[in-house]
Homo-oligomer: A and B are copies of this chain.
Amino acid sequence: MKAAVLHRYDETLSSDTFVHYEDVPDPRIEKPTDVILRVGGAGVCRTDLHIVEGIWRSKVDVQLPYIMGHENAGWVEEVGPAVEGFAVGDAVICHPLVTSGHCLACRRGDDMHATDSQFPGVNANGGYADYLRTGQRSLIKLPAGLAPKDVAPYTDAGLTAYRAAKKASRHLLPGQFVTVIGAGGLGHIGIQVLAALCAAEIIAVDRSDTGLALAKECGAHHQIRADGEEVENVMALTGGRGAEAVIDFVGEGEAVAKGLAMTANAGFYYIVGYGGRIEMPTLDMITSEKTIVGNLVGTYPELVELMALADRGLVHLATREYRLKDANQALHDLHHGRIRGRAVLIP
């Protein structure tokens, strides 16, 4: 089959060619619960750029060359002998982790913390290819109205935004505020999820006109430019107390300190983006009684929930399609901020 293969890291992202479009062997069923997917679409993610940079090298165990692509949807091509409930041709979306379902985390419904998981595209071959090997437990059947290429980025970008927004929605009340920092590929989903799941007023903070316009379309009630005065402006909007929840999809540079500063006392700062650092005196954490919450993608049931929102039209994903052989173009467009929403590679 064809695949876009990563052969070497590029710490400065300066090469024109991050991945090579080439022939590789087809994946094969190895375990009785394995499934071969014909890829319908593979999302291109900032995490892929971080993988190319080598940032994830210390976190995961993977050898080059390998195939990136952790946001996958497509059709069942072949199933292992122990697979039940799926037939060849079924349109499916893949939860990013493949678990056995036996560890205590899985049993408690917290599969993101499984002790027994594989992460195709991150620690195994992924979906920048014609075919992908995954496991039965990662599959969710798609409703008839949703096409694989249109939903692929939900598996990571969408799911991560969904989980953080859902956590916030559990405590947000009418009359309260939630600030979303960064109205890009994740943020624009986060805003739509918040609008669907709670009645807090949504404040979008972004550097660009494009981002703020997208935020407004997605349901943000207020738009604030990240121009250095964003903390003061959020404070002014919220009667001086800050937002009861802040979801930071940027997570680097000044966003972190500003995000924490615009969080109300007794409020929650959800960190989703990464690259930067949290730095805060313990005294300030105590007098403010704020909570800082890490967010790691989302669970399989949460992806089912997100598909329900998408199927009802409550969440819409802005995508831009690329041919698989144009993967480098997609990665560069993402790197240079030229993509509104999410890029998807189509074999």
Name the residue in A170, A197, A294 with the highest tally of chain B Cβ atoms < 10 Å from its Cβ.
A294
Residue A111 interfacial (CB < 8 Å): yes
Does A146 belong to the interface (CB within 8 Å)?
no
Query: Does A208 sit within 8 A of B, measured CB to CB?
Result: no
Residue contacts A-B, CB under 8 angstroms, 6 given: A84-B102, A108-B109, A277-B280, A278-B279, A288-B294, A289-B295
Contacts A82-B82, A277-B282 given; does A110 touch B107 at CB 8 Å: no
A309 to B290, CA, bound (A): 26
Question: In the complex, what residues of B have CB within 8 A of residue A173's CB?
Answer: 301, 305
In the complex, the answer to whether B196 meets A197 with C-beta atoms within 8 Å is no
The reply to whether B272 and A286 form a contact with Cβ atoms under 8 Å apart is yes
Residues of A within 8 A of B (CB): 32-33, 55, 59, 82, 84-85, 100-102, 104-113, 136-137, 170, 173-175, 196-199, 201, 251-252, 256, 265-266, 271-283, 285-296, 299-301, 304-309, 312, 314
Nearest-Cβ distance from residue A237 to partner chain B, whole angstroms: 14
- Chain B residues in 8 Å Cβ range of A285: 271, 274, 278, 292, 294
Contact indicator B283/A275 (Cβ below 8 Å): yes
**B280 close to A113 (CB less than 8 A):** no
Check B174–A308 contact: CB distance below 8 A: yes
- Cα separation A346 to B280 with both chains bound (whole Å): 38
Closest 5 pairs between A and B when the two form their complex, measured CB to CB: A109-B109, A175-B308, A285-B294, A289-B296, A292-B292
How many angstroms from the CA of A296 to the CA of B288 in the assembled complex?
7
* Docked-complex contact A174 and B196, CB < 8 angstroms: yes
CB contacts (< 8 Å) of A199 on chain B: these are 196-197, 308-309, 312, 314
Contact across chains for B287 and A108 when beta carbons are under 8 A apart: no
Residues of B with C-beta under 8 A to A271: 282, 285-286
* Closest partner residue, chain B, to A199 (CB atom): B196
Q: CB distance A32 to B82 under 8 Å?
A: yes
Q: Which residues of B sit under 8 angstroms from A104, Cβ to Cβ? A: 301, 304
Write out the residue numbers on chain B whose beta carbons fall within 8 Å of the beta carbon of A296: 286-289
Q: Is there an interface contact between A84 and B107, defined as CB atoms closer than 8 Å?
A: no
Residues on B with C-beta less than 8 A from A273 are: 282
Decide if B275 touches A278 in the complex (CB within 8 Å): no
Q: Specify which chain B residues have a CB less than 8 angstroms from the CB of A301 in the assembled complex.
A: 104, 107-108, 173
Contacts of A32 in B (CB 8 A): 32, 82
The residue of chain B having its C-beta at the shortest distance from the C-beta of A307 within the complex is B175
The CA-CA distance from A289 to B164 in the complex, in Å, is 11
How distant is the Cα of A336 from the Cα of B307 in the complex, in angstroms? 45
With both chains docked as a complex, state the minimum distance between the C-beta of A255 and any C-beta of chain B, in angstroms: 9
User: B109 near A174 (CB under 8 angstroms)?
Assistant: no
A282 touching B276 by the CB < 8 A rule? Answer: yes
Q: Which residues of the partner chain B approach A288 to less than 8 Å between Cβ atoms?
A: 294, 296
Complex CA–CA separation, A39 to B85 (angstroms): 32
Cβ of A263 to closest chain B Cβ, rounded Å: 10
Query: Is there an interface contact between A174 and B305, defined as CB atoms closer than 8 Å?
Result: yes
Other-chain residue from B85, B110, B272, B276 in contact with A266 (beta carbon distance below 8 A): B110
The smallest C-beta distance from A231 to any residue of chain B, in angstroms, reads: 18
